[in-house]
């Protein structure tokens, strides 16, 4: 029996070099640059870089606008994760049934994830337009006035629903794969022992889906924190009244629209990275323990 090996000791490094180079150029270098700029007060017009140490971080943590944006982002993330995963699991359970025509149903469930957040925003902006939107006109017919343009609460709910819909397809794919890997013999044995559908789900199905659920918990958190910029920019631009001014969108406004706040925007990017990393580690620490790997 021959052990596999590369013909040259340098070949493995050569193969990973393109990927490593991309990581350095598009992740490590920008991260280091942001860390450097976060310690300065920058004036690009005059070309001035004034070292201020941790002043940018102190101002952010004492800024009510930043705290409000942090709370908004946390509430939004909680909605996307809890409602999104619950609804996705429910749809996956329905789609896993072996009925005629359900293959088409499963395909349609996956479609939303094929759309970018910006396209999702454009679609939902049209159907919820206060004047011509199909959904808003339907709600008006039953006495519900939904206006994402003027109402802060409606705008926030609009972003939450659109983002959750965007991730449905991704979540359903993994839940369907997890459900397919559950041995049917376990469910049949539990049924013969008198366990009803509810008991079989909580005692067998859900525990065996815990690794999938844990993975999706992390991916949906990352999506809510980093990937909703396009959705917000196409629809609400952080308004009305900064009701949808998530951390990632505030960072963009300070860094690209207000060029005198580049130092502050860099500090925001560092804080956002620290918060998401900490949250992910906590999820591994607590939720990861509950994942059941058979």
Chain segment 8-53, per-residue pLDDT in tens: 788 888 889 999 999 999 889 988 999 999 999 887 777 778 899 8
Which pLDDT score is estimated for 167?
93
Mean pLDDT of 123-136: 92
What's the average model confidence in pLDDT over 47-67?
Answer: 90
pLDDT at position 104 over 90: no
What's the pLDDT tens digit per position in 156-180? Answer: 999 999 999 999 989 999 998 898 8
pLDDT band at 95 (very low <50, low <70, confident <90, very high): confident
Task: Tell which wins on pLDDT, 163 or 98.
Answer: 163
Each domain of the chain, given as residue ranges in start order, spans: 64-290
HEC string for the chain: CCCCCCCCCCHHHHHHHHHHHHHHHHHHHHHHHHHHHCCEEEECCCCEEEECCCHHHHHHHCCHHHHHHHHHHHHHHHHHHHHHHHHHHHHHHHHCCCCCCHHHHHHHHHHHHHCCHHHHHHHHHHHCCCCCCHHHHHHHHCCCCCCCCCCHHHHHHHHHHHHHHHHHHHHHHHHHHHHHCCCHHHHHHHHHCCCCHHHHHHHHHHHHCHHHHHHHHHHHHHHHHHCCHHHHHHHCCCCCCCCCCCHHHHHHHHHHHCHHHHHHHHHHHHHHHHHHHHHHHHHHHHHHHHCCCC
294 band by pLDDT with thresholds 50, 70 and 90: low
Average pLDDT over residues 105-114: 78
Is residue 186 pLDDT above 90, yes or no?
no
With a cut of 70, say whether residue 5 has pLDDT above it: no
Judged against a pLDDT cut of 60, whether residue 292 lies above it is answered with no
Third-level CATH fold of 64-290: MetI-like fold (1.10.3720)
**Residues 274-288: pLDDT tens digits?**
998 898 888 887 766
Share of the chain above pLDDT 90, in %: 50
- The pLDDT score that the predictor gives to residue 1 is 47
Which of the two residues, 5 and 111, has the higher pLDDT score? 111
């Amino acid at each position: 029996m021959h052990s596999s090996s590369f013909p040259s000791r340098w070949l493995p490094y050569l193969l990973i070099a393109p990927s490593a180079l991309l990581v350095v150029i598009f992740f490590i270098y920008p991260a280091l640059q942001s860390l450097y700029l976060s310690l300065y007060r920058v004036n690009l017009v005059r070309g001035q870089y004034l070292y201020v140490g941790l002043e940018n971080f102190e101002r952010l943590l004492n800024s009510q606008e930043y705290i409000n944006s942090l709370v908004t982002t946390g509430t939004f993330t909680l909605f996307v994760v809890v409602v999104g995963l619950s609804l996705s699991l429910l749809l996956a359970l329905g789609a896993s049934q072996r009925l005629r025509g359900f293959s088409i149903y499963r395909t349609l469930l996956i479609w939303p994830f094929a759309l970018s957040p910006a396209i999702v925003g454009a679609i939902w902006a049209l159907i919820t337009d206060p004047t011509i939107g199909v959904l808003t006109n339907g709600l008006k017919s039953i006495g519900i006035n939904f206006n994402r343009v003027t109402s802060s609460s409606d705008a926030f709910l609009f972003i939450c629903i659109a983002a959750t819909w965007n991730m449905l397809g991704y979540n359903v794919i993994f839940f369907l794969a997890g459900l397919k890997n559950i041995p049917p013999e376990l469910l049949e044995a539990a049924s013969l022992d008198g366990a009803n559908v509810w008991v079989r789900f909580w005692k067998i199905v859900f525990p065996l889906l815990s690794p999938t659920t844990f993975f999706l918990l992390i991916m949906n958190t990352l999506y809510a924190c980093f990937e909703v910029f396009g959705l917000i920019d196409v629809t609400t631009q952080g308004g009305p009244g900064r009701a949808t001014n998530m951390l990632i969108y505030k960072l963009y406004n300070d860094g690209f629209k207000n060029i005198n706040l580049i130092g502050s925007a860099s500090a925001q990017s560092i804080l956002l990275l620290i918060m998401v990393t900490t949250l992910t580690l906590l999820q591994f620490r607590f939720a990861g323990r509950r994942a059941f790997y058979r």
